[in-house]
A and B are shown apart, each in its own frame.
Chain A
Amino acid sequence: MIDWILGILALLALLVAGVPIALAMTIVALVGMSVLLGVDPTFAMLGQVFYDNAMSYTLSVMPLFVLMGNFVVKAGLADDLYEAANAWLRHYRGGLAMATIVACGGFSSVCGSSLATAATTARVSMPAMRRYGYSDGLATGTIAAGGTLGILIPPSIVLVIYGVITQSDIGKLFLAGILPGVVGIIGYLVAVRLSLLRSDEHAQEAEPLPWSTRLRATRGIAGVLILFVGVIGGIYLGAFTANEAAGVGAFGAFVLALLRRRLDRAALYEILVETSRMTAMLFFVLFGGILFANFVNVAGLPADLNHWITLFGADPVPVILMILAIYLLLGMVLESISMVLLTVPIFFPIVTGLGFDAIWFGIFVVVAVEISLITPPVGLNVFVLKAVLPEVPTRVIFRGVLPFVLIDVVRILLLIGVPSIALLIPATT
C-alpha cells in the first residue's frame, strides 16, 4: 500500500513543480515499477506501451475529431452559432449569456474538446457581453462553464479515452452523452439566471431583432446541424463506427470550410500541423497515464481500494457518492485526461462489480471531469479564458463559474438518481 501512496505523492510533487504531466507520470511509473518489478521488465514495458498505443486503431478517432474541431473553427461555425443563438435570446434577461451557453452547446456537438469550445466561444461572445454591461465574472464564467459541454456532448475526446481504457463501445458512449448534454445546457441556463440575482450584476437586455433577421441567422447553423446529424446520426444508425465517423466528420468539416472559402493552402497546412501537435501532446499524456495506471495496478491500489469499499458495505449508492467526492477532490488539482487515465482503471472494476452500467459510468466520469475543468485551483477552461483575456483576474473568473459548478453537482446527483438520462438513447439502437 505504501508503494502507491508514495507514487501518488511523488506525482503530485512533480506536477506542482511544473514538470509536464506526461513526463511526471512516466517518471513516477518508471521508478515505481523498477522498484516493484526490476529495471529490465520496466524498461521493456516502456517501449511496448509507447509502441502499442501509438499503433492503435481505436485511438485514431482522437486526432480525427480534433481535426474536425479545428476545421469547424476555421469554417467560422462558432460565429454563426453565436449569431443564431443571440438573435433568439438577446432580448431576454441574461440573454447574451444564455446565447453563449446555447452556442457552446451547439459548438461542442461538432468539437471534441472543452478547451477549444471555450477558447472559440470566448472570441465571439465576450465583446457583446461586455458591451451590454455584463460583469466580467458572469461573462467569463458563462464561457468557461459553457465550454465544458465540449466533452459531454459527443464527439468527445474524454469519452474516447474512457472507451479505450474500459473497452466499451465508443459509439454507444457518444449516444449516451447526448441527453445529459441537453440537461447540461438547461442547467447552465438556470445558472445564468441564478447569477443575475447578484446585486452587482448590471447585465442589460438587448433590443429584440426582427423576425426576418432571426430566421436568416438561424439558417447559418445548417452547417453545424449537417455535421452533427451526419456524424452522430451515422453512429446511431450504425452506418459507420466511431472511427469512421471521425474521419468522415473531419472530411465534412474540411469540405464545409472549403465551400465557405475559409481555407487556402496555408490555412490547411496550419490546421494540420496544429492538430498533429495537439495529437502528440495528448498521446504523450496518454502514454504516461497508461504507465502510471500500470504502476498503481502492480502496486495493488485497486485491491486496497476494493478492500476499503467493502468495509463501507456493498450498497452501491454510498460507494458512488464516495467516488464522486474523490473525483471532485482530484478534479481540483488534476487535468482532465490524466484524471481519467488515473482513476478509471481503478474504479471501473469496482463500479461495474456493484452492478452499475459501464456506459453509464462513462457519462458519470465525464460529468465529474467536466466539473474539474472549472474548479479552482487548477481549472483548465479558466486558464484558457485567462489566456484569451489576460486583463481579467483569475479570481473573478472562478467566482463567475461558481453557480455553474453548483448546477453541475446537482446534475451529477440527478444522473445517479435517474441513470436512464444516459442510457435511454443508446438503448434504442
Chain B
Amino acid sequence: QTVLRLSNWLPSQHPLFEQTIKPWTEQVTKATDGRVVIQLLAAPLGPPAAHFDFAANGVADVTFGIHSYTPGRFTATLLAELPFQTESAEYLSVAYWRVHQRYLAKANEHRGTKLLAIFTHGPGQLWTRDRDLSSMQSLRGSKIRVAGGFAQDGAKALGVIPIQAPVTEVYQVLAGGIADGVEFPAESIDSFNLTGVLDRGLLVPGGLYNVSMFLVVNAGRWSKLSKQDQDAIMSVSGEQLARTAGRTWDRADADALASMRKAGKIELATPSEQQMAAIRKALEPYVTKTLQQISAKGIDARAAQQELQKEIAALKARGGS
C-alpha cells in the first residue's frame, strides 16, 4: 500500500475541497482497490502559494493550487484566464484539460510533478459599492482588488487602480472603503461574506477573467507507482476531475447568484451592447499580449485558443460530454 500525503490549504467546508478534492481522494482508493491511499494532512504545510513547490520538492506528495500565485512561472496556463470564454466552469475546465494535453503540456511548466488535473472557477466578474457600473468611463480610477494572472492586466485595461490584498482581508478592505470593489466569481462573494459591503455586480458574459488551478503529484512518487495504479488514478483524474471541479464551481456560483437575487441587496446588471463593445476593445490588446507571451513558450497560442473555443462550443452543444 502506498500512502500519498495531501496538503490542503482551503477551509474544509470550501466547496472545492468538500465536493471535489475530498471525494477524489476516496475515488483514488476505490479505483486502486486500496493500494493507493491519499492521506489528508490536518493542517497545510505552508501558504497557498507554496503548494506547487511542495509537490515538486516532495514535501507533500499531492497538492492543488492556483497558477497565478507564483507570477512569472506559468505562462501557458494564462490561456484559460482570458475573458469572454463561457458561463460554465465545467465546459471551460473540460475543454482546458483537453487543450492542455494537446497544446500546452509541451511547455512543460509543471516540471517536477505529474499533472493530475487542470481546471478553472466560474467567470470572474466585477463587484462594487457606490459606483456607477453603467459605463466604462464611470469606473475609471476606482480601486478594485484583483487576483493575479490575467486579472492584473485586465484591471489596467479597464482603467481601474488594482489593489493588492490577501484574500482573507478582502472583506475588511471593502468594508473600510480601502477598495471600492473586487473582481471575483459569484461564489466568492457569498463565501467571503461580501454581500453586506457591496451593492452592484456587473455580469459580463463569459467573465472578465478567470483563474487557472492545478492538481499535481510529485513526479518521483508517481513514477514509483505501478502502471496499473497510475492508470487507475488517471481514470478518476484528468478530464473527469476537471469536470467535477468545474461543476462544483458552477453550482456554487449558481447558489450564490440565487441567494443574491433573493436577498436583493446586490443589484445585478449585464453590460449594454455599447458597454460590452467598450470592454472588449479595452481588453483586446491585453488578450493579444497574453497570447504572444504564450507563443513565446513555443506554443501556437492562436490555434490553442481557437481549439479551446471549439471544444467549449462542442461541449455546450452536447450538454457537457
Cβ-defined contact, B59 with A297, below 8 A: no
CB of A272 within 8 Å of the partner chain:
no
What is the chain B residue whose CB lies nearest that of A171? B172
A17 within 8 A of B: no
Question: In whole angstroms, how far apart are the Cα atoms of A117 and B166 in the complex?
Answer: 31
Chain A residues 285-301 with CB under 8 Å of chain B are: 290, 293-294, 297-298
- Report the Cα distance A56→B46, complex, angstroms: 12
Q: Which residue of the partner chain B has the closest CB to A38? A: B58
In contact, B59 and A169 (Cβ under 8 angstroms) = no
Bound complex: CA A429 to CA B174 (Å): 13
Q: Which residues of B, 141-188, contact A by the 8 Å Cβ criterion?
A: 165-166, 168-169, 171-173, 175-178
Q: Does A339 contact B (CB under 8 A)?
A: no
**Does residue A213 face the partner (Cβ distance < 8 Å to B)?**
no
- Across-interface contacts of A302 in B (CB, < 8 A): 42-43
Contact across chains for B57 and A52 when beta carbons are under 8 A apart = no
B177 near A45 (CB under 8 angstroms)?
no
Residue A266 CB within 8 A of the other chain: no
Other-chain contact of B57, A45, A297, A349 (Cβ < 8 Å): A45
Contact with A along B53-96 (1 / 0, CB 8 A): 11001110000000000000000000000000000000000000
Q: How far is the CB of B85 from chain A (nearest CB, A)?
A: 30
In Å, the complex CA distance between A49 and B47 comes to 9
Interface residues in A136-185 by Cβ distance below 8 A to B read 167-169, 171
Given A241-B172, A298-B5: A45 and B178 within 8 A (CB)? no
Q: Which listed residue, A40, A167, A169, A297, touches B42 by the CB 8 Å rule?
A: A297
**CB proximity of A43 to chain B, nearest CB, Å:** 9
Contact: A58 with B166, CB < 8 Å? yes
Q: How far is the CB of B65 from chain A (nearest CB, A)?
A: 13
Interface status of A311 (Cβ within 8 A of chain B): no
Known: A293-B43, A297-B42. A237 touches B57 (CB 8 A): no
Least CB separation from A239: chain B residue? B176
- Specify which chain A residues have a CB less than 8 angstroms from the CB of B5 in the assembled complex: 298
Interface residues of A in 209-240 (CB under 8 A from B): 237-240
**A44 to B57, Cβ gap below 8 A?**
yes
On chain B, the number of residues with a Cβ less than 8 Å from chain A's Cβ atoms is 26
Q: A57-B166, A58-B166, A345-B43 are in contact. Are A241 and B173 (CB under 8 A)?
A: yes
Most buried by A among B5, B43, B46: B43
Q: In the complex the two chains form, what is the Cα distance from A297 to B7 in whole Å?
A: 10
Per-residue CB proximity of B1-37 to A under 8 Å, as 1/0? 0000100000010000000000000000000000000
Q: Give min CB distance, B148 to chain A, whole Å.
A: 14
Complex interface: chain B residues within 8 A of A303 (CB): 42
B147 to chain A: closest CB distance in Å? Answer: 15
- In the complex, A169→B42 CA distance in Å? 21
Q: Is the CB of A241 within 8 A of B43?
A: no
Q: Do residues B41 and A297 form an inter-chain contact, with CB atoms below 8 A? A: yes
Residues of chain A within 8 A of B178, CB atoms compared: 238, 240-241, 244
Looking at chain A's contact residues, the main secondary structure is: helix
Taking the closest CB of chain B, its distance from the CB of A164, in whole angstroms, is: 9
A45 proximity list for chain B (CB < 8 A): 45-46, 54, 57, 59
Give the residues in chain A near B173, CB-CB below 8 Å: 241
For residue A348, which residues in chain B have a CB less than 8 angstroms away from its CB?
Answer: 43
Return the contact of B169 from the options A52, A169, A290, A429 (Cβ within 8 A): A169
Q: Which residues of A contact B43 (CB under 8 A)?
A: 293, 297, 302, 345-346, 348-349
Q: For residues 115 through 160 of chain B, which have their beta carbon under 8 Å from a beta carbon of chain A?
A: none
Q: Which residues of B are found within 8 Å of A238, using beta-carbon distances?
A: 172, 175-178
For the complex, count residues of A whose C-beta is within 8 A of B: 36
Report A51 CB to chain B, min CB distance, Å. 9
Whole-angstrom distance from the CB of A281 to the nearest CB of chain B? 22
| Chain A contacts for B172, CB-based, 8 A | 169, 171, 238, 241
Q: Which residues of B contact A58 (CB under 8 A)?
A: 166
A40 in contact with B57 (CB, 8 Å): yes
CB pair A298–B57 under 8 Å, yes or no, is: no
**Interface flag for A5 (CB, 8 Å):** no
Chain A residues within 8 Å of B277, by CB: none
Q: Are A306 and B46 in contact (CB under 8 A)?
A: no
In the complex, chain A residues whose CB is within 8 Å of the CB of B58 = 37-38, 40-41, 44
Of the residues B42, B53, B175, contact of A44 by C-beta under 8 Å: B53
**Residues of chain B contacted by A167 (CB below 8 angstroms):** 168
**CB <8 Å contact, B175 and A429:** yes
Contacts A37-B59, A38-B58, A238-B175 given; does A48 touch B50 at CB 8 Å: yes
* Shortest Cβ distance from residue A36 to the other chain B in the assembled complex, whole angstroms: 10
**In whole angstroms, what is the CA distance A171 to B175 when docked?**
12
- B41 / chain A contacts, CB cutoff of 8 Å: 297-298
A49 contacts across to B, CB distance below 8 A? 46
Contacts of B171 in A (CB 8 A): 169
* Cα of A290 to Cα of B46 in the assembled complex, Å: 8
Instruction: Considering the complex, give the chain B residue whose CB is closest to the CB of A290.
Output: B46
The answer to whether B46 and A48 have CB atoms under 8 Å apart is: yes
Q: In this complex, what residue of A is CB-closest to B47?
A: A52
Contacts of B177 on A, CB cut-off 8 Å? 238-239
The answer to whether A41 and B57 touch (CB under 8 A), given A48-B50, A297-B41, A306-B42, is yes
CB neighbours (8 Å) of A349 from chain B are 12, 42-43
Q: What's the minimum C-beta distance from B245 to chain A, rounded to whole angstroms?
A: 22
In the complex the two chains form, what is the Cα distance from A169 to B50 in whole Å?
21
Chain A's closest residue to B197 (CB) is: A238
CA distance A37 to B169 in the complex (A): 34
| A52-B168 CB under 8 A given contacts A241-B178, A306-B42, A345-B43 | no
Quick one: which of B47, B59, B172, B173 has the most chain A CB within 10 A? Answer: B59
Residues of A within 8 A of B166 (CB): 57-58
Complex CA–CA separation, A238 to B173 (angstroms): 7
Q: A240-B176, A298-B5 known; A41 and B59 CB under 8 Å?
A: yes
Interface residues of A in 2-41 (CB under 8 A from B): 37-38, 40-41
Interface set, chain A 37-69, CB cutoff 8 A to B: 37-38, 40-42, 44-45, 48-49, 52, 56-58
The 7 closest A-B CB pairs, nearest first, are A238-B176, A302-B42, A44-B57, A41-B58, A45-B59, A238-B175, A345-B43
30 pairs of residues in contact across A and B, judged by CB atoms under 8 Å? A37-B59, A40-B57, A40-B58, A41-B57, A41-B58, A41-B59, A44-B57, A44-B59, A45-B45, A45-B59, A48-B53, A48-B54, A48-B59, A49-B46, A52-B49, A56-B47, A58-B166, A167-B168, A168-B168, A169-B168, A169-B169, A169-B171, A171-B172, A238-B177, A239-B176, A240-B176, A297-B45, A302-B43, A346-B43, A348-B43
Other than the given A52-B49, A241-B178, 11 more pairs (CB < 8 A) read A41-B59, A42-B59, A44-B59, A45-B59, A169-B168, A169-B172, A241-B169, A297-B42, A297-B45, A298-B45, A345-B43
Instruction: Name B residues whose Cβ lies closer than 8 Å to a Cβ of A.
Output: 5, 12, 41-43, 45-47, 49-50, 53-54, 57-59, 165-166, 168-169, 171-173, 175-178
